[in-house]
Structure formats: structure tokens, C-alpha cells
Amino acid sequence: MKAHALCLGLVVCLCSACAAPSLRYKSEVNNLIRTGQFEQAESLIASKKNKLYTQKDSVLFYLDRATLLHDDQQPRKSDELFNQAQERIDELYAKSVSASVARLFINDLTTPYYAADYERALTFFYRALNFMQLGNPMESAVEARKAVAFLDELRGTKTKGYTDDPFVQYVSSLIFESVGERSDARISRENAFKAYEKLGLRAPDFPMPADANEKGEVIIFHYNGLLPLKKSQTLQVSWDKLVSAASSPVESQNHVAPEVENAIRAGILGNAVTLAFPVLEKQLYTIAGSVAEVNGQQTPLQKAADLSLMATQDLEEKLPGIWFRLATRAVIRQTAVVQARHAVAKGADNKGLGELAGHLMSALGASLEKADTRQWFTLPAEIYMTRLFLPVGKQDITLLFKDGYGNILKTYTFEDVAIKKGGRVFLHYRTAL
């Protein structure tokens, strides 16, 4: 009895040891984002410190909150968090050997969250925009320089996958222009166009009016939708029948943690090994574009970044490594099950007890198997933008958000935007309906 209780306790402890933000929690935050309650969503995330976000997930803790504060038009607070995230990313340059080894025995959640390359590039974009909103173009240019240096390094070291970011390059070029660094602006613009072409995407094209010198410029970013969410997909592989998938439960929004379900299934199946890996689930949103209206004149915003695509490509890039570690863990766990069964059966001279030990070891292994579903999930799915050249003075700029059929679902007006001759104003708005 004591031994059973001990085993159960061990399983429960190990199950809770490597927690990650669940699909249910992410959906809860997303519901607040849908209704524009960014501050409440940020507070909800802040309340999960040391619960869903442990020390090793501090990068995510900062990024998830910083984005929402940015969306809530709180650039100073947002920048403080982005700064902390960048500092932590820098600290994590030295990869933990012990955590990497533990990945082969326990699961992928044992390592700290190392931000994906596209996520790192976006931190520079968000900070640059925060500084622009705070009226500090020189500091914004620092972020643009950091972005360009990071992307240069990527292009120099990677040949496949995410090697450059057209959107971040394009925005960097605008920022360089704003501080008079025309040469850097030209290089970034060229890199942006090359990267758009490489991705098979259309580069944004904004015509400049002949009288642009007499006007002021407004650059609007429309963050739209919700990023596809990573969720856990599990496979129970029956070892004695070679490799055959017994079942494949997917993480749902119910209250039972997937690792607990896996432990139960593995305990029943006995000679099965559980494998868990992340898959992306598309999030639904109906707004499919936007139009800016000033004094009755409408200008459609152009899609400049597809973050859903980047998230998908990032996971695809990581999948070979994930599968390798899954296979390694499967072999180690199956060996442990066989060893436990034989050792107990031999020691107790009881085949039944040996079988029980095998089942328990299998359940323990399954309870440890968790997919790494960590991601910077408060990002939008896509970013639209436009550049408007408007007469000097105060202007009301209305954004009309439309569905795929052209129906207006929502409007928002930036009131009394001060336009100065030759000046530049950066505005942003988030929707997730």
C-alpha cells in the first residue's frame, strides 16, 4: 500500500514539475484580447508568475505581457518588459548543458524558453515602435540597428528556414529614414524586398504623392487576429507489436491535464510508450483587412507581416529535433520498463508483481512526457500597414475593419492626430474579432 502511495505521489510530483501555459489558459487570455481588454489580459498573465510561468519561462512572461501593454497604448511600461525580455534572451545565450541532457530523459520543458528567431526580431520592432510613440526616435534607431545586426547574423549563419524578416527590415528602414540615416535605410529596404521575394510574399508598396514634402506622414499598423496556438498531441506506441499508434489524444480545453490522461492510458496499455509533440491550432477571427479613412478618402492597409506563417515555419524547422528527442526518450523509457519488470519479477519471484512494476514504470514515463507548447502567444496573426501623407494640422483618422466579404465589423478613430510638415507619426491598433 505504502509503495503504491509513494509511486502515485511521485507521478503527481513529476507531472507538476514542468508546467507550461495550458491551452485553456491561453484561450482565456485570448478571449480578453478579442474584446480589447488588453490591460485585464496583462493582469491575468502577471498573476500567473511562478505558477504557469516559472523562472525558466521568464522570457515568455515578459513578452506576453509587453505585447498587451503595447496594444493597450502603454509604451513605457511595455518597453520596460521588452527590455527585461531582451536582457534575459541575452543571458540565455549560454545554453544549459544539464537542461539539454534532461530533455533526453524527461521532456522538452526542462530547458529555459529560448525565444524563436522570429520572436527575437519582433522584440526589436515592438521596442522601436514604443520609442517612436514616446517621441524618442534616436532610441528607436538603436532598436533598428539591433534588429539589422541580428538579421545580418542570421543571414550569415543560417541557410534554411527563417533567415531574414522582411517586415522588421522594412520598419527598420522607415526608422533609419526618420533619424536621417539614409544609407542604412536604403540597405534595410533592399533587404526587406529580397526577403519578401524569398518568402513569395508581395512587398508593401505605398505611392508617394508629388506634394509629399508639403505634408506630414502617418504610418499605421493594424495588428490583426490571434497566433495559432501550440497544443500537445500524444501518441501511445505499442512496443511489442513493433510501432503502431494505439491512440492519439489531443490537448483540449477540459480540466484533465494531458500528461495525467497519458499516464492512465499508458498504465492500462502496459507495454506502450507515450510520445508527446506540439501541433499548431489555428485560431478563428473574422476581420480580414482594414481601410484607413481621412476626410472621406479611403486607403486600404496592406498586409506586411504574416506571423502565423512564421510560427508555422518555426515549428517545422524545430520538428526534426523534437522527433529525435522523442525517439531517444521512447527507447530509454522502454528499456526502463523492461528492466523494472525483469528486476521485480526476478527479485520477488512473482511474474505478476513484475508486470505491475512494468505498468507503473510505463505510467511514470507517460506522466513525464509533455510537449513543449511554449510560445509568445499574445502576438497577432498578421500585421497590416499603410503610409498616409496628410495636410499639416490636426486630423481624425478612422480605421474600418472588414470581414472577407467587405462588411465593416468595427471602426476606430485616432482623434486629432497632429501632422507636422515633413514629420512622421506612428500609430497602431489591435483587433482579434
Partner 1 sequence: MKKLTLALLCATFLFACSTSVKRVETNLIKDVSGSWNDTDAQMVAQEMITDCLQAGWYNKFVTKKSKEPVVIVGTVNNKTSEHINTGVFVEEMQRALINSGKVEFVASSEERGEIRTERLEQDEFASEETRKAFGKEVGADFMLSGVLNSVIDKEGSRAVVFYQANLKLINVETNQIVWNGQKQIKKYVKRSKASW
Return residues touching partner 1 (CB under 8 A). 90, 93-98, 138-139, 141-142, 145-146, 149, 153, 157, 181
CB 249 within 8 Å of CB 397: no
Q: Are 429 and 322 in contact (CB under 8 A)?
A: no
**Amino acid identity at 56:** K
- Nearest by Cα to 332 from 249, 239, 251, 262: 239
Q: 138 or 242, CB closer to partner 1?
A: 138
Nearer to partner 1 among residue 121 and residue 385 (C-beta): 121
Q: By C-beta, is 89 or 273 nearer to partner 1? A: 89
d(CA 101, CA 123): 29
Of the pair 141, 280, the CB lying nearest partner 1 is at 141
229 forms beta bridges with 281
- Comparing CA positions, the residue from 331, 351, 334, 330 lying closest to residue 342 is 351
Measured from the CB atom, the residue of 157 and 295 that comes closer to partner 1 is 157
Least spacing, CB of residue 296 vs partner 1, in Å: 41
Nearer CB in complex with partner 1: 152/396: 152
Q: At its nearest, how many Å lie between partner 1 and the CB of residue 251? A: 31
Residue 55 or residue 413: which is nearer to partner 1 going by CB? 55
Which residue from 306, 268, 392 is spatially nearest to 122, judged by alpha carbons? 306
Nearest to 330 by CA among 271, 275, 276, 248: 275
Spatial strand order of the sheet with 408-419 comes to: 297-300, 289-294, 393-402, 408-419
**Residue 86 C-beta: closest distance to partner 1, Å:** 10
Q: Give the distance, in angstroms, between the CA of residue 44 and the centroid of all CA atoms in the same chain.
A: 18
Closest among 173, 212, 166 to 189, alpha carbons compared: 173
Q: If we measure between CA atoms, which residue out of 310, 247, 307, 311 comes closest to residue 279?
A: 311
Smallest distance, partner 1 to C-beta of residue 401, A: 35
- Nearer to partner 1 by Cβ, of 101 and 408: the residue is 101
CB of 293 to partner 1, least distance (A): 37
Q: Which is nearer to partner 1, 138 or 284 (CB)?
A: 138
Non-local CB neighbours of 403 within 8 Å, separated by 6+ positions: 286, 287, 288, 409
| Cβ partners under 8 Å of residue 281, min gap 6 | 23, 228, 229, 230, 231
Residue 387 one-letter amino acid? R
For partner 1, the closer of residues 142 and 260 by Cβ is: 142
DSSP state, 245? E
8 A C-beta contact, residue 383 and residue 122: no
